[in-house]
Amino acid sequence: MKIALITGITGQDGYYLSRFLLNENYIVHGIVRRSSNFNTQRIDNLISEYGPEKKLILHYADLTDSSSIHALVSKILPDEIYNLGAQSHVAVSFLNPGYTADVSISGTTALLESIKNSPKKIKFYQASSSEMFGGKENTLLDETSLLDPKSPYAAAKVFSHNLTKIYRDSYGIFGVNGILFNHESPLRGETFVTRKISRAVGRIKNNLQSKLTLGNIHAFRDWGFAGDYVKGMYMMMQHETPDDFVLSTGETHSVKEFSELAFAHVGLDWKEFVITDKRYERPNEVHHLLGNSEKAKKILKWEPETSFEKLVQIMVEADVKKAEQEKLLISEGLLSPTWEHPIGL
């Protein structure tokens, strides 16, 4: 059985990737950072199913603490490491630039150093991002496009991306960069725009919220489904040579279009509910992202399987169900009503 170590296992992609690898008969180890509340909600169902057989094993560690990373890698000696851990919110990275950089930069460095010093040949996946391109209108971005980061988050990702290449070229480490365009799901964090919209649609439909406040609704993103993208991560790691690959859908849509479609799915007109406020705008915006994943299609035979319309439908339907449950709990006095997130984003 192959052994994988996943950083960021408690995040959106962490769930989908763990589920995929466990289905492929891997033993999956995951890093969980200490939090004052339980932070494993996304993977709790996997823990119940695979935990007792020791196929899914969790460890406390933190990407900002290199000693914890070195100790874990040398103890587990995995075949593959997937580095998904990050402070992954672009707007937050302008508010917490030092921490954002620390998680990405120290974390990737500690992992690559552990691999370099390990007696075992360990493959490494780095979660690179389309944010690194900075965005360009009417341009299909691929592995050869210029990196022009526009946020502390993207700058930190560029460092990790380059370091992965440097360790590959200098030490012959099997290190791959997956340059992934935005990918979403019902498990997306609630402060990313797609989930903020689908959640609001569910809550507005259930009279738990009256308005949705957004920032720049004219931004365009190449949005795919997270479940499709983790398969691409795995395929990159199974390819005979390490390389960098873009994963994207090749379609771009605006935040406004996403909102229109999401509200229409439950028979509502988005214009009656969406308002905009400058407080949700960023000091520097990536206006337009559109990817070209021909290389992944040709070499890995990877292609996205979920359309934009289907993605919106999956997310809205999941959040309508969630809001119905929330409403029930509120009516029974078991949950306090909340409106939009108190600190926004």
Is 131 designated active site? yes
Nearer to ligand NAP, 194 or 206 (CB): 194
| Contact pick of 11, 152, 202, 215 for ligand NAP (by CB under 6 A) | 11
For residue 12, the partner it binds in ligand NAP, ligand G4F, none, with Cβ less than 5 to 8 A by kind, is ligand NAP
Which residues of the chain form contacts with ligand G4F (CB under 6 A)? 88, 90-91, 129-131, 181-182, 191-193, 196, 214-217, 219, 221, 255, 280, 282, 285-286, 289, 345
For residue 92, the partner it binds in ligand NAP, ligand G4F, none, with Cβ less than 5 to 8 A by kind, is none
Of the candidate spans 86-94, 164-172, 302-310, 327-335, the one that interacts with ligand NAP by CB under 6 A turns out to be 86-94
> What is the phi/psi pair of residue 129, to 5°?
-140, 150
Nearer to ligand NAP, 179 or 262 (CB): 179
For residue 163, the partner it binds in ligand G4F, ligand NAP, none, with Cβ less than 5 to 8 A by kind, is none
Q: How far apart are CA 130 and CA 112, in angstroms?
A: 22
Nearer to ligand NAP, 63 or 158 (CB): 63
Q: In the 3-class helix/strand/coil scheme, how is the chain assigned residue by residue?
A: CCEEEEECCCCHHHHHHHHHHHHCCCEEEEEECCCCCCCCHHHHHHHHHHCCCCCEEEEECCCCCHHHHHHHHHHHCCCEEEECCCCCCHHHHHHCHHHHHHHHHHHHHHHHHHHHCCCCCCEEEEEEEHHHHCCCCCCCECCCCCCCCCCHHHHHHHHHHHHHHHHHHHHCCCEEEEEECCEECCCCCCCCHHHHHHHHHHHHHCCCCCCEEECCCCCEECCEEHHHHHHHHHHHHHCCCCCEEEECCCCCEEHHHHHHHHHHHCCCCHHHCEEECHHHCCCCCCCECCECCHHHHHHHCCCCCCCHHHHHHHHHHHHHHHHHHHHHHHHCCCCCCCCCCCCCC
Nearer to ligand NAP, 58 or 330 (CB): 58
8 Å CB contact between 188 and 226: yes
Assess 145 for contact with ligand NAP (CB under 6 A).
Answer: no
Assess 12 for contact with ligand NAP (CB under 6 A).
Answer: yes
Catalytic residue among 106, 114, 128, 129: 129
Of the candidate spans 5-13, 20-28, 113-121, 212-220, the one that interacts with ligand NAP by CB under 6 A turns out to be 5-13
For residue 345, the partner it binds in ligand G4F, ligand NAP, none, with Cβ less than 5 to 8 A by kind, is ligand G4F
Q: How far apart are CA 118 and CA 121, in angstroms?
A: 7
Q: Closest residue (Cβ) to ligand NAP? A: 11
Shortest Å, Cβ 342 to ligand G4F: 14
Nearer to ligand NAP, 63 or 176 (CB): 63
172-185 burial code (b ≥16 CB/10 A, e <16): ebbbbbbbbbbbbb
Is 129 designated active site? yes
Q: How far apart are CA 312 and CA 303, in angstroms?
A: 19
Site string for ligand NAP, 39-58 (x = CB under 6 A): x-------------------
Catalytic residue among 26, 50, 153, 234: 153
Is 151 designated active site? no
Catalytic residue among 15, 26, 93, 131: 131
| Contact pick of 87, 108, 252, 259 for ligand NAP (by CB under 6 A) | 87
The set of catalytic residues is 129, 131, 153
Per CB under 6 A, residues contacting ligand NAP are 7-8, 10-14, 31, 33, 35, 39, 62-64, 84-88, 103, 127, 129, 180, 182-183, 189
